[in-house]
Structure 1
Amino acid sequence: MNEARDIALIDELRALPAETSWVEFKGNNTDPEMIGKRCSALSNSACIEGRDCAYMLWGIEDGSHAVVGTTFNPDSQKVNGQVLQLWLANRLQPSTAFSFRIANPSQGRVVLLEIPAATGAPVAFNNIAYIRIGSATPKLTDYPERYRQLIECMQPYRWEQGIARKYATGDEVLALLDYSQYFRLTKQPLPDNRAGIFDRLEADRLIVRDVGDRWNITNLGAILFATRLGNFDASLARKAVRFVAYSGNNRAAGVTHRHDSQNGYAAGFEGLASYLNDLLPKNEHIGAALREAHPLFPELAIRELVANALIHQDMTVTGAGPQIELFGDRIEITNPGRPLVKPDRMIDLPPRSRNEVLASLMRRMGMCEEQGSGLDKVIASVEVFQLPPPLFRADGNSTQVVLYGPRSFAEMTPEERVRACYFHAVLKFLSGDKMKNASLCARLGIDPKNASQATGVINNTLTAGLIRIADPDHPRAGYVPHWA
């Protein structure tokens, strides 16, 4: 941790008019039981006050906030033969990533204890949760109104709100983030001064204020607008999108193209989409006078599926990021994390995202469809191109979508025909209609004279339990999804 930042933080905390419910000053009182109780109380109080962290400082006089120095050494202090920090860690529940740091401002030595605010549950010491009220540290259960307030304030950890770079200068922020792309994509005029730029970036939580006129760049800001993800921690850099194209239909074939994106998702999305479109295979059709190239895969489907992979990935899975693989007969788009809804219900249920702020901002920038409509359009475009149905699957700790190249009805597998029938029934239902034999013939490219083939697919889909007759009393009324 940067000592200059810690000194600036100490100066900012000393400038407070008095101790608060999330800041406490100490001289040389190092009683471990006191420290444990304060950790619990300060963490819970910081949550109520909307602070990210709480602090205890040794070497600061309580009344005047003058630096008087301290002899306290948290690294050497032991409790019953156990190192203080390990002793504390074993007695705080849930586990809390507190940290002791030593700073040496000119006036004397200061020990800083930083305690993250409570998130998933109240922080307890020896199974008792405490709260800070004035200078007192009572049990949280003795103040039910504070307990209710704490529960209301606690939110689960949001990766987007984490910090990718601490204590950055204004110049570093402008160099690390492609702020011009942010203003262009959000359709805002670029301010003519730095203060205006920082105000807008802060409003969208791409940066947050640190101490000493410095800034923290959030994970959200970095993953969307990094000029180069490699400038951040390796765990963030590995979230970059990777593209690999093979010369055949499996990974044993030679690699023809490889592209590891260096930009943040928003800053590099248009370039990635253009790169993919240039590589995707195309058919040539001769028109009245000119040859026209038509893509084998719907561009809208590719764009939406890539955007979904970025939005819905589990950012807490380390060492992995979104991957796009192009084979001779298909495209596979994979992202870390199992889906939050069942794969066969992705098309109709409202999407659930682990990264709601990321998703909202990407939709605002027009990088994906409005919530709940994206996959509908993917399936609809696949039907227009008369492609085999996409395959949505959860594989280990990842989610994968496979988009297949053109194949005739005769070349589709029985499973693909059933899946196409189910998706077609879903689209019809979502548009207020019902699937019928004739509409399925059109979807699968079956000649109406061979409608019995569509009937066979419908019967197999009924047997699989994916669709049902809309009105048992009128079997010709059509079919709807099993959940309708």
Structure 2
Amino acid sequence: MLDAELGEIVANLRVLGADIADVEVKSSGGGLPKSLRETLSAFSNTRGGVVILGLDEGRGFAAVGLTNPAKLAADFASMCSSEMDPPIKPLIRIHQFEGERVVVAEIPELDPAQRPCFYIGAGMHKGSFIRVSDGDRRLSAYEVQIVLSSRGQPRDDEQAVPGAEIGDLAPAGVDALIARLRTSRPYAFQDLDRLAVLRRAKVLVSAPDGKDEVSLAGLLALGSYPQERFPQLMLTFVHYPTAAGAQSATGQRFLDNVALEGPIPVMARDALAAIRRNMSRRAVVTGAGRQDSWEYPETALREAVVNALVHRDLSGSARGTQIQVEMYPDRLVIKSPGGLFGPVTVDNLGEEGISSARNATLMKLLEDVPLPGETRTVCENRGSGIRSMLDALLSAGMSPPQFEDRVSSFIVTFPNHTLLSEETLGWISGLGEQGLSDSQCVALAILREEEMLDNRSYRAATGVDSRVATTELQDLVARELVAQSGTRRWAHYRLAPRPASRISGTTPRADRRPALLAALGDETLSRTELAIRTGLSDQTVRRWLTIMREEGTVDLVGNVPRSKSTRYRRARQEALFPTNTTDEK
């Protein structure tokens, strides 16, 4: 880590007034604190992070220094290598910061195949932690089991269900599956008899006595009534009257409350019907005007419900927990047992090529099992469900869903409001900016509702890749619509302060050409020098210099316009530039 990066991190901590998810600060006046082991485990089991020793959070993250930073760094390295399992390999460096020496350690994220990282002295079940907000939380025994399951492919869905025979399956569903497999996958299934097809598809598996029994995957995909053996492998839907849940003033606990049972295709169909029955319609602004639409796009709901049913944890410890769908006036929440599996994280959900299946056999089966009364199958969009969900919400002008991985559960929350409402579109129009992309408009709308965005949340909301997100965010900074704090992984973006007249659209947008021409005078200056003289950001200076070069009001001295050291001067024809522009500071 560079000294400048450390300065940015501390400046951000001082603005926020507390530790953040990926930064932990310790004063460490008396040596390494014991709680550091918990932080090392938490960072390793989550997204990695930075530990800074020698700052005092209670004094506004002031640099208090360390008596013997070299020994502290050595002790830190020893703790990582000898007290943690698996050993951690941090990058440790001593920095000079505000006149004091501090130790900075960058803790890498551990590969899911090696988790959990834990403190050896406490053991795996008491010494494993994850990072939640700015604190470290101990994993429960069940959560440790979930983390361990990501080291390989779980086979819970392939287990035989004792006593379950082919007679426990719905005949129509079995016939439809066999016919589809023989047609769509003839190499593997065309020449097999019915029982052989079901065995190869792992609907039937061998019991310890050698007889055929129905697998858990087969029962959930095709069973007549799976809940006869597993009562809680079901889905519940509750519609609450208030944002807080039950309405205590009137005694009304809920507006609708149903328990949905049957195989997964039936539960998916009935869950969507229950949500639809409780939804209202809203007006959505489109390019041609307004149109009525459901509160939540059905595509997004279907993907979320199916994902919950297919990817839930099916291990013995989780079979007593049902999937929960909760509707509130301001949101819809879908909770399923078991967090994200394998390489999938909240950060990369929806990215192309990122996919994993906790219940691989169940998912493979449901690719060939149709939804009741439809020709499409339950899992027709394997690997692209999250992307379809995000695209549907974006097309409806709604906020992206919030994903929360709690290790023992995964929660999807759909906010119930139109992101690009008529009023919001009017506000964006009033900013006076031309050429904004659709994704930039979405980001501005989100920033108007929320406080902050980063590159990851920009990608999640808009569906663009990391390169496009960086380019578009930097363009918003250059336009002075958004203010950036920090750089690289620490970069965060907020709405820039805007004059009231600018927001109402009664005055033109800020024109920085006069300020740049005045700063140039008769000199030849670099972009960095112009930024210092005008007080503008580098992105804003670069944007306006590009415009002025195209207009012919400034000349480039050199051939590398993107370099900060390239110099600029007034062009001879600059006198033709109109002088009646307004310079808004």
TM-score after normalising by structure 2:
0.43
CA distance, structure 1, for counterparts of residue 487 and residue 319 of structure 2: 41
- Asked if residue 205 in structure 1 is aligned to residue 199 in structure 2, the reply is no
2:355 paired with 1:351: yes
Provide closer, same or farther for how the CA distance between residues 167 and 179 of structure 1 changes in structure 2, counting only shifts above 3 A: closer
Task: Work out which of the residue numbers 432, 451, 459 in structure 2 matches 1:414.
Answer: 451
SS in 2 for 1:323: strand
User: What does residue 367 of structure 2 align with?
Assistant: 363
Question: How many angstroms does 1:167 deviate by?
Answer: 6.4
Report matched runs for 1:248-259 at 5 Å: 248-253=242-247, 254-259=253-258
Between the aligned partners of 1:452 and 1:338, the Cα distance in structure 2 is 39
**Equivalent residue number for residue 81 of structure 1:** none
Shift of 1:284: 5.6
- Of the candidates 162, 177, 180, which is equivalent to residue 172 of structure 2? 180
Letter in 2 for 1:363: E
Where does residue 379 of structure 1 map in the other structure?
390
Q: Indicate the residue corresponding to 2:273 in structure 1.
A: 274
Cα contact 1:306–1:333 (8 A) shared by 2: yes
CA distance in 2 between counterparts of 1:167 and 1:381 reads 40
Structure 1 position 239 matched with structure 2 position 233: yes
Letter in 2 for 1:206: V
Matched, 1:400 2:411: yes
Alignment of 1:391 with 2:385, yes or no, is no
Conservation of the 8 A alpha-carbon contact between 2:234 and 2:267: no
Amino acid at match of 1:184: A
The residue aligned with 2:464 is: 428
Matched, 1:158 2:155: yes
State the identity %.
16
Tell me what 1:23 maps to.
none
Distance 1:180 1:396 in 2: 37
Indicate how the Cα distance of structure 1 residues 418 and 188 shifts in structure 2: closer, same or farther if over 3 A, else same. closer
Corresponding position of 1:43? none
Give the residue type in structure 1 aligned to 2:275.
L
Distance in 1 separating the partners of 2:452 and 2:276: 29
State the alpha-carbon separation in 1 of the partners of residues 284 and 161 from structure 2: 49
Shift of 1:355: 0.8
Q: CA shift at 1:401, angstroms? A: 1.1
* 1:216 positional shift: 0.9
The aligned runs of 1:324-339 (5 Å cut-off) are: 324-339=325-340
Is contact 1:304-1:369 (8 Å) kept?
no
Please tell me whether the aligned partners of residues 268 and 305 of structure 2 are also in contact (alpha carbons under 8 angstroms): no
Q: CA deviation at 1:267?
A: 3.9
Per-residue displacement from partner, 1:373-408 (whole Å, max 9, x unpaired)? 221221222222222221111235111111111144
Equivalent residue for 1:149? none
The one-letter amino acid paired with 1:166 is G
8 Å Cα contact 1:386-1:406 kept in structure 2: no
Q: What do the CA deviations read for 1:292-331 (whole angstroms, capped 9, x no partner)?
A: 7411211111111111112222111242122111111111
CA distance in 1, matches of 2:323, 2:475: 34
Q: TM-score, normalised by structure 1?
A: 0.51
> 1:272 is aligned with what amino acid?
A
Query: Are residues 1:228 and 2:192 paired?
Result: no
Runs of 4+ in 1 over 4 A off after TM superposition: 209-214, 284-287, 415-420, 432-441, 460-464, 473-478
- Does structure 2 retain, via aligned residues, the 8 Å contact 1:388–1:412? no
Matched-pair contact (CA < 8 Å) for 2:162–2:213: yes
Answer whether contact 1:167 1:211 (CA < 8 A) is retained: no
Please tell me whether the aligned partners of residues 458 and 469 of structure 2 are also in contact (alpha carbons under 8 angstroms).
no
Hey, what's the Cα distance between the residues in 1 that align with 2:164 and 2:362?
23
Counterparts of 1:58-77 in structure 2, within 5 Å, are: none
* Distance (whole Å) between structure 1 residues aligned to residue 320 and residue 302 of structure 2: 24
Is 1:465 aligned to 2:490, yes or no? yes
Helix, strand or coil for the counterpart of 1:344? coil
**Which blocks of at least 5 consecutive residues in structure 1 are unaligned?**
1-154, 442-449, 479-484
Question: Could you tell me how far apart the structure 2 residues matched to 1:180 and 1:460 are?
Answer: 60
Partner of 2:104: none
Question: CA–CA distance in 2 between the matches of 1:413 and 1:160?
Answer: 41
AA aligned opposite 1:222: L
Q: 1:380 to 1:209 in 2, by over 3 A?
A: same
How far is the alpha carbon of 1:210 from its aligned partner?
5.4
The letter for the 2-side match of 1:264 is: P
1:254-286 Cα offsets, whole Å, 9 max, x none, are 311122121010244233323323322222689
Which ranges of structure 2 fall in alignment gaps of 5 or more residues? 1-151, 184-191, 248-252, 370-376, 420-444, 494-527, 529-537, 544-585
Q: Measure the CA separation in 2 of the matches of 1:439 and 1:373.
A: 28
Q: Contact between 2:331 and 2:416, CA under 8 Å: does it hold in 1?
A: yes
| Partner secondary structure for residue 464 of structure 2 | helix
Cα RMSD over matched residues?
A: 4.2
Q: CA deviation at 1:237?
A: 2.3
**Matched residue type, 1:332:** V
C-alpha deviations, 1:92-126, integer Å up to 9, x for none?
xxxxxxxxxxxxxxxxxxxxxxxxxxxxxxxxxxx
